Structure 1
Amino acid sequence: MALQSLHIRRLRVPRKTTAVTSGRQRAQSFLIVATLLYRASHLAVGVLAVVRRPTDQPLPYVGIVLALALSGLTYGAALRRGRFDARHIWADVVVTGCVLPLALIAWGGVSTPPALGWAMLLGGSASAAAAIALDRLHAVTVVALLLLSHFIGYQAVGASSAVIAGHLNSLVSSAVMTWVFRWYLLRQGSLLDEANARALAAEAHKARYAERLEHHRALHDTVLATLTTLAAGSVDANAPEVRARCAREAAYLRRLIQQTADEVQHREIGTALEEAVGSVEGLQLRVTAQYHRLPQVPPAVAAALGDAVREALNNVRRHAGTGHAYLTATADPDGRGGALVTVVDRGPGFDPENCTPGLGLRGSVHARMAEVGGRATVDSAPGEGVRVELRWPG
C-alpha cells in the first residue's frame, strides 16, 4: 500500500536580512561618496559656467555633457561595486582632466583663464579619485600628467604665474590629502576589523567554556552520581531500575560524544531535542538518536522542533507498543540552511485514510511547526510503523 501523508499549510513569516561589511569596506565606501561630492561640486560649477556664457561653439556643451557621462560611469560603478574601476579612473583623467581643457583652447573658442577655469577644476577631483583607486606609482603618474596638461593650458591662455602656481598646487594638494584620508580611514577600518575579530574569538571561547561547564554539570548530576552510588555498594547493580538508568545515561553519553564542533556552536536545536529525548526516556521509552551537522535556527524554531519531537515520541510510547523509537536530526538536504528531523517507530502503524489525527498530533506537532513556518508530515501504513517528518522551513 502506498504511504499516505498528512500535510499542514505553511504559514509565511517575514524575515529580515542585514548586510554585514568590514571596517575597511565601510571606509572605502565613505571615500567613494566623499570624492563623488567633490566631483559634483566641480560639475555644478561647470554647468553654470557653460550655461551663463553662451557661445556659438558646440565644444563647451559637448565637454560638460561628456564630463557628466564619465562621472556617472565612474562613480556609479564604484558605488555598486564598493570600489573604483581603474579603467574608469584612467578614462576620466585622460578625457576630462587632460584632453578637455586643451580641446577647449584649440577648438572651443576659449582664450581667457576665467573661461577655462571650470574645465581645470575637474582635474582636482580627477586627481583625488586617482589617489584612492590607483597604486602609488600610477597615482603619481596621473598627477604628473594633470600638472603638465594644465600648465600647458594655462600658459596658452596667458594666465599669470600666481594663477598657474595656485592651480597646480591645488592639483597636488587634492591628491595628497585624499591619499592621507584614505590611509587613515583604511587603517582605522583594519583596526576595527581586528577588534571585532578578537571580540568574536572571545565570545566563541566563552561559549565553548559555558558548553563544557554545562556538560560537566550534566555528567555530575547523571553519570557520576550513578557511578558513585554503584561504587558505594548501596544499591543492587543488577536491579532492573538501576540497569535502565545506566542504559539511559550511556545513551546520553553516546550522543554527547557524537556531537561535532558545528553542533556545539549552534546547539540550540540540539539542546531542545535532547530535552525531549530525556523527558520520554524517563517514562521507559528507549530512543536511538543520531545528530549530524545540526544547523543554526532561531530559538523559537528550536523550541517548536523540541516540543513536536516530544509529542511524537509520546505517541510512540502510547501507541507503538515497541518501547523503542528512532530520532534523526540533520541539516536540510536541500541546502537552504534549514533543519530536517524525523521520528520513526516499528510498531503496527495505521491507515491514514481511516484514522483522524488526534489532538496531540494536530496541536503539538502540525500546529507548532506551522506557527514557525515549518511543516510536519506523517507517513504510515498498517504493519509498517509510523514516520513523522519535521522540516523547517516548510
Structure 2
Amino acid sequence: MSAPRAVSYLGTLLRRGAPAMAGVTGGLDDEVADPAPASPLRRMRRMAGPVDLAAPDNLLLRATRYVAMVPLIYRVLAVAGALAAFLADGHGGVGLVVAVAAVVIAWNAHGLRWLFRSAPFHSRGAVWLLVADVVVTVAADLVVAASVPGAAFATAMQVPGKQLLGGVALLTLALGLGYGLGLVVLSIPLAGVAWWLNSGVFNVKQAFAGLGTIAGVLVTATGALVLLGLGTRLALAYGIRHGREAERARQQRMLHDTVLQTLETMTLPGTGSSEHQLSELRRLARAQAMELRQTIESGTDGPSPLGEKLAALAAEMARDGLRAQLVMAELDADTLTEVRQVAIRDAAREALRNTLKHSGTDRVVVRAEERDGGVAVVIRDHGVGFDETDRPPGFGISESITARLAEAGGRARVESSPGSGTRVTLWMPR
C-alpha cells in the first residue's frame, strides 16, 4: 500500500476553513519554528507546507468554533446601526423592517449563545445551523425588499445587507473559501430578485451593484483565515519546540539531582572496612534505582503539602548520611501551587546535596516560613563554608537552584564565607 499523499496546510485551510486547524500540529518539522533569521516568504512557505490530517486534535477542533464570534458580533452591531439609519430617514414600512431586524439580531444572539454553551460540540449541528443561517439571510433580504416603498429601498436593504456581509465572512471562516464564494455568487441573483420584488422590474445592473462590497468582505475574511491559521501553526510550533527544550532541561535536572548526585556520593572517601563500604555502595545503588524507577513510572508527584514534601526530603537525605533538622512555621496549605512547591522542594534537595558534598558537616537546619508575601525555605549549615568569589566545582547554583526557582517565579540567595558555614535562602511568591 502506497503512503498517503501529503497535503498542503494552506490549501486545506482554504478548502475547509478554521476546522482545518485541528490538524495544525500534524507534519510539523523543526524548520517551522527555527529561530534562525529567514525571509517572511520562506517562513510562510514552511508554515503553509505539508500537513498530516490523520489525527486531528479534538481540543483544537472545538476551539475553532470561536472564529464565528467576530461575524456574529459584527452582524448584531451592524444590523442595529443600519436600522437606526433607516429610522432616521423617516420612510415608510418601518414596522416590518424593525421586525426583520429584531429577528436577525435575535438569531445572531442565539448563535453566540450556541457557541458558548457547555454542551459537547457536534460538527453536524454546526453545519445545520449554518444552512439555517443562509435561509434566514435570504428570507430577510426578500421580505424587506417586498415590503418597503421604493423611496426607502436603498436604506432599508442595508438591514439585511449587513446580515449578508456577515454571512459571507461566517461561511468563509467556518467552512472555507468555496462556501463564502458560493454565497457571494448567490448574492447576485438575490439582489436582482429583491429589486424585482420592490419595483416589478428585473434590473441586471442592480443585481451586480453591491458585488464589490461583498467581494471585499470575502477577500478580508480569507485573509483573516490565512493569517489565523498560519499564526496558530507557528505559535504551536514554537510551543512544541520550547516544550521539548523544557522537558529536556527537566530531565537533565532530574538526572543531576538523582543519578549524578548518587554517583558523586559513591566517589567520596568511605569509612570502615572494605566490606562495610561495599555494603554502603549497594545500599545507595538500590535506593537510587528505586527512586529512578518511581520517577519513570509516576512521571509527576502527587499533590501534598509543602511540609510533607520537605519532611520526605529530610528522610531521603538521612539515608545518605545528612541529618536535617526541619523547622516548620505554620503555613497555609493553599499558600503555594503544586508547581511552585515542587520547584522549591527540588531546589532545597540540590542545596542539601551541596551541603553533603562540600560543607564537611553532617548536620543542617531547614527552616520554612512565610516571608515577604511568599514562602522562604532557609538551609543553614555550620560547615567549612567557602569564598563566594571562588565557588567550589560542582556547587550547582545557577542551573540547579536559581534556574529551577526562576521558572516558577522564585529566587535564591547563597551566603557563605570560609569557616562560617553556608546559608541558602529559597523564596517563592504566593
TM interval, short-chain normalised: 0.5 to 0.7
Q: RMSD across aligned C-alpha pairs, in angstroms?
A: 4.3
**Residue 208 of structure 1, CA deviation:** 0.9
User: Percent same amino acid at aligned positions?
Assistant: 11
Q: Check conservation: 1:23, 1:189, Cα contact below 8 A.
A: no
Q: Check conservation: 1:22, 1:193, Cα contact below 8 A.
A: no
* Aligned match of 1:275: 313
CA distance in structure 2 between the partners assigned to 1:251 and 1:273 by the alignment: 21
CA distance in structure 2 between the partners assigned to 1:217 and 1:69 by the alignment: 66
Q: Check conservation: 1:42, 1:125, Cα contact below 8 A.
A: no
* Aligned match of 2:193: 152
Match among 154, 172, 178 for residue 221 of structure 2: 178
Q: Within 5 Å, which residues of 2 pair with 1:1-394?
A: 29=66, 32-33=69-70, 36-37=73-74, 39-50=76-87, 52-53=89-90, 55=92, 58-80=95-117, 85-95=126-136, 97-106=137-146, 108-112=147-151, 113-118=153-158, 119-157=160-198, 164-225=207-268, 235-239=272-276, 242=277, 245-246=280-281, 248-261=283-296, 263=298, 266=301, 272=310, 275-281=313-319, 297-300=338-341
Residue type of the alignment partner of 2:252: Y
Residue type of the alignment partner of 2:314: A
CA distance in structure 2 between the partners assigned to 1:140 and 1:224 by the alignment: 74
* Aligned match of 1:332: none
Tell me: CA distance 1:254–1:121, structure 2 relative to 1, closer, same or farther (3 Å): closer
CA distance in structure 1 between the partners assigned to 2:183 and 2:93 by the alignment: 33
CA distance in structure 1 between the partners assigned to 2:109 and 2:133 by the alignment: 10
CA distance in structure 1 between the partners assigned to 2:133 and 2:292 by the alignment: 62
CA distance in structure 1 between the partners assigned to 2:258 and 2:167 by the alignment: 62
Partner deviation per Cα, 1:146-197 (whole Å, 9 max, x = no partner): 3221222134445977665341221222123212211221211111011111
Tell me: CA distance 1:103–1:117, structure 2 relative to 1, closer, same or farther (3 Å): closer
Tell me: CA distance 1:26–1:187, structure 2 relative to 1, closer, same or farther (3 Å): farther
Tell me: CA distance 1:201–1:281, structure 2 relative to 1, closer, same or farther (3 Å): closer
Tell me: CA distance 1:189–1:27, structure 2 relative to 1, closer, same or farther (3 Å): farther
Partner deviation per Cα, 1:296-315 (whole Å, 9 max, x = no partner): 934447979xx9xxxxxxxx
CA distance in structure 2 between the partners assigned to 1:212 and 1:59 by the alignment: 74
CA distance in structure 1 between the partners assigned to 2:232 and 2:190 by the alignment: 36
Tell me: CA distance 1:180–1:218, structure 2 relative to 1, closer, same or farther (3 Å): same
Tell me: CA distance 1:117–1:104, structure 2 relative to 1, closer, same or farther (3 Å): closer
- Pick the structure with greater CA Rg: 1
Residue type of the alignment partner of 2:290: R
Aligned residue for 2:254, secondary structure, equals helix
Greater relative contact order structure (CA < 8 Å, 6+ sep):
1
Residue type of the alignment partner of 2:226: W
CA distance in structure 2 between the partners assigned to 1:38 and 1:66 by the alignment: 12
Q: Check conservation: 1:22, 1:189, Cα contact below 8 A.
A: no
Tell me: CA distance 1:149–1:176, structure 2 relative to 1, closer, same or farther (3 Å): same
Residue type of the alignment partner of 2:131: W
Gaps of 5+ in 2: 1-57, 324-336, 349-430
CA distance in structure 1 between the partners assigned to 2:235 and 2:343 by the alignment: 33
**Residue 55 of structure 1, CA deviation:** 3.9
Tell me: CA distance 1:137–1:114, structure 2 relative to 1, closer, same or farther (3 Å): closer
CA distance in structure 1 between the partners assigned to 2:255 and 2:303 by the alignment: 15
CA distance in structure 2 between the partners assigned to 1:152 and 1:48 by the alignment: 24
* Aligned match of 1:319: none
Partner deviation per Cα, 1:255-297 (whole Å, 9 max, x = no partner): 2342243645559989856632234436799xxxxxxxxxx93
**Residue 235 of structure 1, CA deviation:** 5.0
Tell me: CA distance 1:251–1:150, structure 2 relative to 1, closer, same or farther (3 Å): same
Q: Check conservation: 1:128, 1:178, Cα contact below 8 A.
A: yes
Aligned residue for 2:157, secondary structure, equals helix
Residue type of the alignment partner of 1:148: P
TM-score normalized by the length of structure 2: 0.51
Residue type of the alignment partner of 2:138: C
Q: Check conservation: 2:168, 2:217, Cα contact below 8 A.
A: yes
